[in-house]
Amino acid sequence: MTCRLLLVDDHSLIRAGVRALVGDIPGYDVIGEADDGSQLLERVRMLAPDIVLLDISMRSTSGLDALTQLRASGNNCKVLILSMHTDPDLIMRALESGAHGYLLKDTSATELEQALAALRNGERYLSPAIAHTVINQALQHTRQGKQATGERHSLTARQLEILRLIVRGKSTREIATGLGLSIKTVETHRSQIMKRLQIHDVAGLVLFAVREKIISLDD
């Protein structure tokens, strides 16, 4: 079966370039385009794409805001961020907002094909250069946050439960649904967890959870 793609980027040349690259990859078809994040929800409802290729920086509604709106609507189509930004905090925000992958715009056609294949198979994808950046940031937070070691017991049972789900890659909506909580309640717990541990990104939470044996590497 052909995998249906939707392109959302405010630069027509970028969209044309991605469309051309996709045209050379068997099994994929670009079924629609949008030039702003404000159009994302409507296009997804109309076209029902399998994968959305979404830019972050756009004129009116950013990709992250549009992604948040998409997830809030209950739509779970796969989203691959296609961006020039390499800031690790921005990358983590994108993943936390429900993106399944993050690809740099200067990527090769081969890597685009690999990313699309990963999402199509239910996996996640990060450009190798981005993964390196995120790991470096996580290691830095580990060194800076050694004082947080041993503070596991300052978290409540509910916060520990939510922490385990966060580091397993669950979105806020998935956690809320699974635990029977509101999204706002889960967001409050997430904020309190990060504040208590003095860790402010998911990569740092993962390292803390593994180090404190809250979760194992097998998870």
Least confident among 17-26, 60-69, 143-152 = 143-152
Q: What is the pTM of this model?
A: 0.64
Least confident among 42-51, 108-117, 210-219 = 210-219
pLDDT number for residue 30 = 96
Amino acid present at 175: I
Question: Mean pLDDT across the stretch 153-176?
Answer: 86
Q: How far apart are CA 4 and CA 56, in angstroms?
A: 21
pLDDT number for residue 130 = 79
Token code pair at residue 219: 């998870």
pLDDT band at 148 (very low <50, low <70, confident <90, very high): very low
Neighbours of 195 (CB within 10 A): 10
Q: How far apart are CA 128 and CA 42, in angstroms?
A: 32
Name which residue leads in pLDDT, 147 or 53.
Answer: 53
pLDDT number for residue 138 = 56
Mean model confidence pLDDT for the chain: 85
pLDDT band at 135 (very low <50, low <70, confident <90, very high): low
Say whether pLDDT at 143 is over 60: no
Question: Mean pLDDT across the stretch 132-160?
Answer: 62
- Which stretches within 35-125 are classed as H helix? 40-47, 63-72, 88-96, 109-120
pLDDT number for residue 213 = 76
- Beta-carbon-side half-sphere exposure of residue 42 (alpha carbons within 13 Å): 7
pLDDT band at 87 (very low <50, low <70, confident <90, very high): confident
pLDDT band at 157 (very low <50, low <70, confident <90, very high): confident
Question: Mean pLDDT across the stretch 19-29?
Answer: 94
Per the CB < 8 A criterion, the answer to whether 27 and 3 are in contact is yes
The length of the chain, given as a count of residues: 219
Per the CB < 8 A criterion, the answer to whether 145 and 197 are in contact is yes
pLDDT band at 23 (very low <50, low <70, confident <90, very high): very high
Q: How far apart are CA 125 and CA 34, in angstroms?
A: 23
pLDDT band at 77 (very low <50, low <70, confident <90, very high): very high
Q: How far apart are CA 20 and CA 5, in angstroms?
A: 13
